[in-house]
Chain A
Amino acid sequence: MGHDISEPEWLEYVSGAPPRALAQRIESHVAVCPECARLLDELANWHDLLTREGASLRHALQLPDARMEEFVDRAVERVCAAAHPRFRAGRGRTAAEGLFLMRSLLEPIFGSGTARIAMDLAASRCTIHPEGKLLGGEWPLFVRNLSETLASICGSAAGRLVNRAGTCLVAQGA
Chain B
Amino acid sequence: MRVRCTPAMLWTGLGISVLAGAASKTLEFVNPSAPGLHFGINFYGPLYIVANAIAFHFCRKICTDHRDPSTMHLAWMLMAASCVTAIVRHGYEWTTYLLGWHDKPLLASVVSLRQIPTVLAMVFMTAGLVAMWSSFAAIGLGVRFRWRDAILPLVIVALAAADLSHRQNMWDARSAAYPLMRYLQMLSPVSLAVPALLGLVLQRISREMRGGQFADFLRYLVWSLLLRLASLLTTFSPELREVSVIAIAGTAAFWAAPWLFALAVLRRWRITESLSEMAELYERDPEEEFAKLARKTVHG
A residues contacting B by CB (< 8 A) are 50, 53-54, 57-58, 68, 72, 75-76, 100-101, 104-105, 107-114, 117-118, 121, 149, 151-158, 160-161, 164-165, 168-169, 171-172
Contacts and interface: CB of A to CB of B under 8 A. Distances in A.
A107 B135 contact: no
Nearest to B283: A164
A151 B71 CA distance: 11
Given A58-B300, A155-B272, A111 B214 contact: yes
Nearest to B63: A155
Given A104-B297, A172-B290, 5 more contacts: A101-B294, A109-B274, A112-B210, A112-B212, A114-B210
Nearest to B216: A111
B275 interface: yes
B226 to A, nearest CB: 21
Contact of A57 (B283, B293, B299): B299
Interface string B103-132: 000000000000000000000000000000
Contacts of B215: 111
Contacts of A118: 139
A111 B279 contact: no
A161 B139 contact: no
23 contacts: A54-B298, A68-B295, A76-B294, A107-B211, A111-B212, A112-B212, A113-B141, A117-B141, A117-B208, A121-B140, A151-B66, A152-B135, A153-B135, A153-B136, A156-B65, A156-B67, A158-B272, A164-B282, A165-B279, A165-B286, A168-B282, A168-B290, A169-B290
Contact of B276 (A75, A107, A157): A157
A63 to B, nearest CB: 13
B177 interface: no
A47 B296 CA distance: 17
Interface residues of B, number: 44
A154 to B, nearest CB: 7
A54 B296 CA distance: 10
Interface in B33-70: 62, 65-67, 70
B287 A154 contact: no
Contacts of B211: 107, 111-113
B295 A72 contact: yes
Interface string B268-291: 000111111011001100110111
A128 to B, nearest CB: 21
A157 B214 CA distance: 14
Contacts of A161: 275-276, 278-279, 282
Given A58-B300, A101-B293, A118-B139, A164 B279 contact: yes
A157 B290 contact: no
A25 B211 CA distance: 28
Contact of B275 (A68, A104, A154): A154
A53 B299 CA distance: 10
B279 A160 contact: yes
Given A153-B72, A161-B282, A164-B283, A114 B212 contact: yes
A121 B139 CA distance: 7
Contacts of B274: 109
A160 B276 contact: yes
Contacts of A172: 286-287, 290
